[in-house]
């Protein structure tokens, strides 16, 4: 019996990665706190190892528009419609398999935005639609 030495084993997921995957699957509604840091909208999410992850290319201006003057906004978002959402954005284009980011469009506000590959920390692939609620923190 011969073995193929060119076949590589995939790394085993860590406990943290497995727990996160189970948590994300169980909870389709996600929440992050965005804040204005030196003029840029950013967020931290220790659970997915993100620190000061910026929103750019239209996502930042959408948050500013919905912030109602606040410098902190809680974003509640999901790939399923939920009661009380503010906006729905639809997928326009995905670059590669999402690793190059994805462009979305909001009909209600006639607003286009790009979401970076960090989106894949919350969804297995870029969703066709994302529903969002903006809760400015006063």
Grouping H, G, I as helix, E, B as strand and the rest as coil, residue 93 is: strand
Tens of pLDDT, residues 6-36: 555 556 666 666 655 555 445 688 988 889 9
Q: What is the DSSP letter of 118?
A: G
Determine, yes or no, domain membership for 4.
no
Determine, yes or no, domain membership for 6.
no
Q: What is the token pair recorded at 117?
A: 């590959």
For strand 129-136 and strand 72-78, is the pairing parallel, antiparallel, or unpaired?
Answer: antiparallel
31 - beta bridge partners? 76
Determine, yes or no, domain membership for 82.
yes
Count: domains in the chain: 1
Tens of pLDDT, residues 81-112: 999 999 999 999 888 776 788 999 999 999 99
Rg (CA), the chain: 17
Q: What is the token pair recorded at 52?
A: 């000061």
* Cβ atoms 73, 136 nearer than 8 A: yes
Determine, yes or no, domain membership for 3.
no
User: What is the domain extent for residue 28?
Assistant: 15-136
């Amino acid at each position: 019996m011969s073995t193929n030495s060119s076949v590589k084993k995939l790394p085993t997921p860590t406990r943290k990665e497995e727990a996160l995957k189970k948590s994300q699957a169980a909870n389709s509604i996600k929440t992050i706190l965005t804040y204005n840091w030196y003029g840029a909208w950013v967020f931290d999410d220790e659970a997915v190892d993100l620190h000061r992850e910026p929103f750019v290319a239209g996502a930042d201006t959408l948050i500013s528009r919905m912030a109602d003057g606040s410098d902190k906004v809680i974003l509640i978002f999901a790939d399923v419609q939920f009661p009380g959402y503010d906006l729905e954005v639809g997928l326009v284009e995905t670059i590669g398999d999402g690793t190059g980011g994805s462009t979305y469009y909001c009909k209600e506000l006639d607003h286009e935005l790009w979401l970076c590959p960090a989106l894949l920390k919350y969804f297995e692939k870029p969703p066709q639609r994302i529903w969002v609620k903006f809760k400015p923190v006063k």
